[in-house]
Structure 1
């Protein structure tokens, strides 16, 4: 059992992350689970509920025991690294507040893992996927809805949560959308005519009454459409087309970035369109191979002539 003092400290830290740093709810949920699991382990490991004084005395050996037990629970190195990052962030805050030295926790090394590059779809595969989705449902309005959502992911680079977060007041879609993304960061996204047309067709066929404050995209019964439903639509389409398991809704956003770069788009501009805080994240999205980079270099560099 986690001590009341430790539980209160965790809640206070989460509140600060929400208020001062604008952390997304999904991030806060992950933080809470990671740190609560860590505190629960230490309670069992030490044989007593860990108050704030005890938490300040955790050793490198204790940290190794926690990591070993967590990894034994079939947690991969990537997830382990995330959990350790959550615990370190909490400890940084707690040590400043309580005035103790957090070296044992902060010096714990994260497990090494190979960072997987996202796999965008080829242009013809993305087009085939939309064509397949268009005829997948026996309800024409549902097919139009699914095409509209996926067109927003591929054509505007929206996250699935951003597309599903659109409201009735956003329709008809303007030439540019103001999107509030992760951490409350706002960005301006141009809307392609194809995306405007896809959403207009969905709204023409949708049987559910639209209102400004209601979700733009609806489920069968009229409630908000969930991300899981779109993931299933993609899964069904990729099976029919023989596409790999990496062909997910998020892969359409990856494809948006890669296809823009392939067409000569500027990496910094694409970073803005995606709403990435770091250019390195954008570089990972735009899975550009070395051969293409060398081709650009040879054509553009003044010494290459």
Structure 2
């Protein structure tokens, strides 16, 4: 079943390319998507981003060259052609972050082609990303997370969906999960033993303690959910009985954020950031937080701490007896 889902996902992202690239190159692209998703263990969101960027790239090239793209065309691309694509992205209104991601996606694809001796283009790796300011998701304060939870609980609508949204919010904030990690959970991993096994980036598994309030809310949601409760069924269902889509969660988050007049930086990912920040404020060990977040490198976790200097200073100023 999982293999079928993976194939369907990959075919979905490669379908639109059949009209603008030659068949042998299309086969290489499909193989690359499989390598990204299955062998490298990247999330479906990462695969979606890569495919979006490459689709734009190949669409531009087909118009720029005036025909279906071949492997020979990719080999012969020069810096002028590549920079023309980036200039087009900028003209179309893409920001520095989007352009940088496009460059990363293109470089990743060409590295794959070189690694497996399909073709080589020395110019691609010479592309440089535009300079941009470091931006990290800002954490919500503890009061803001309380307000967010209360607002979700008070929402009108189908009772089971309200309970689902609250369970998901508590899971993201209370366990520091990435949105993709939470939505990929099935019912056979219900945290009834006080722990949750999560498959993160690179197919790395980690064990996360789950607070009783989170387990209880998940159980309440499951009891009210009208959809199948089989071991391989999604833990979080959408309204139509399929696995809940990240876009639905992000849209609901924006609605609640607007009602509470929170900054635009407040997002589902900022709950993960809040999880880490609030643990640090309470004296949590950075190495332990790294393991809970599933970061490969401690330096990534340290970025969270560095980005939260202002927040930590405010907490210190308000709580310290000599402040």
TM-score by length of 2: 0.81
Structure 1 gap segments, 5+ residues each: 297-305
What residue in structure 2 maps to residue 112 of structure 1?
A: 131
What residue in structure 2 maps to residue 56 of structure 1?
A: 75
253-262 vs 38-47, which moves further: 38-47
Using a 3 Å threshold, how does the CA distance of structure 1 residues 97 and 144 change in structure 2: closer, same or farther?
closer
After TM superposition, give the deviation of residue 63 of structure 1 in Å. Answer: 1.6
- Are 2:213 and 1:194 aligned? yes
CA contact (8 A) 2:192 2:215 kept: yes
- Are 2:210 and 1:169 aligned? no
- Are 2:60 and 1:41 aligned? yes
User: What SS does structure 2 have at the residue aligned with 1:277?
Assistant: coil
- Are 2:271 and 1:252 aligned? yes
User: What SS does structure 2 have at the residue aligned with 1:103?
Assistant: coil
After TM superposition, give the deviation of residue 290 of structure 1 in Å. Answer: 6.3
How many angstroms apart in 1 are the aligned matches of 2:111 and 2:239? 46
Task: Give every structure 1 segment of 4 or more consecutive aligned residues whose post-TM-superposition deviation is greater than 6 Å.
Answer: none
Using a 3 Å threshold, how does the CA distance of structure 1 residues 95 and 240 change in structure 2: closer, same or farther?
closer
User: What does the per-residue CA deviation read over 1:130-170, in whole Å, with 9 as the maximum and x for residues that have no partner?
Assistant: 11211112544333222111111111112223223333333
How many angstroms apart in 1 are the aligned matches of 2:231 and 2:40? 30
Using a 3 Å threshold, how does the CA distance of structure 1 residues 234 and 112 change in structure 2: closer, same or farther?
same
After TM superposition, give the deviation of residue 73 of structure 1 in Å. Answer: 1.4
Using a 3 Å threshold, how does the CA distance of structure 1 residues 131 and 88 change in structure 2: closer, same or farther?
same
Aligned-residue Cα RMSD (Å) equals: 2.7
Q: Residues 187-266 of structure 1: matches in 2 within 5 Å?
A: 187-208=206-227, 210-220=229-239, 222-266=241-285
How many angstroms apart in 2 are the aligned matches of 1:33 and 1:206? 34
What residue in structure 2 maps to residue 289 of structure 1?
A: 309
User: What SS does structure 1 have at the residue aligned with 2:140?
Assistant: coil
Using a 3 Å threshold, how does the CA distance of structure 1 residues 272 and 45 change in structure 2: closer, same or farther?
same
After TM superposition, give the deviation of residue 210 of structure 1 in Å. Answer: 2.8
What residue in structure 2 maps to residue 301 of structure 1?
A: none
After TM superposition, give the deviation of residue 121 of structure 1 in Å. Answer: 0.3
What residue in structure 1 maps to residue 15 of structure 2?
A: none
After TM superposition, give the deviation of residue 256 of structure 1 in Å. Answer: 0.5
What count of residue pairs does the alignment treat as equivalent?
295
What residue in structure 1 maps to residue 105 of structure 2?
A: 86
User: What does the per-residue CA deviation read over 1:12-67, in whole Å, with 9 as the maximum and x for residues that have no partner?
Assistant: 32233334322323222322332343233233323444432332222122222121
User: What SS does structure 1 have at the residue aligned with 2:123?
Assistant: helix
TM-score by length of 1: 0.85
How many angstroms apart in 2 are the aligned matches of 1:268 and 1:274? 10
CA contact (8 A) 1:133 1:233 kept: no
Q: 2:197 aligns with which of 155, 173, 178?
A: 178
282-291 vs 145-154, which moves further: 282-291
How many angstroms apart in 1 are the aligned matches of 2:112 and 2:236? 40
CA contact (8 A) 1:92 1:102 kept: no
How many angstroms apart in 1 are the aligned matches of 2:226 and 2:28? 49
What residue in structure 2 maps to residue 160 of structure 1?
A: 179
After TM superposition, give the deviation of residue 172 of structure 1 in Å. Answer: 5.7
CA contact (8 A) 1:147 1:198 kept: yes
What residue in structure 1 maps to residue 163 of structure 2?
A: 144
User: What does the per-residue CA deviation read over 1:65-104, in whole Å, with 9 as the maximum and x for residues that have no partner?
Assistant: 1211222111111111111111112222323444765321
How many angstroms apart in 2 are the aligned matches of 1:144 and 1:36? 38
What residue in structure 2 maps to residue 15 of structure 1?
A: 34
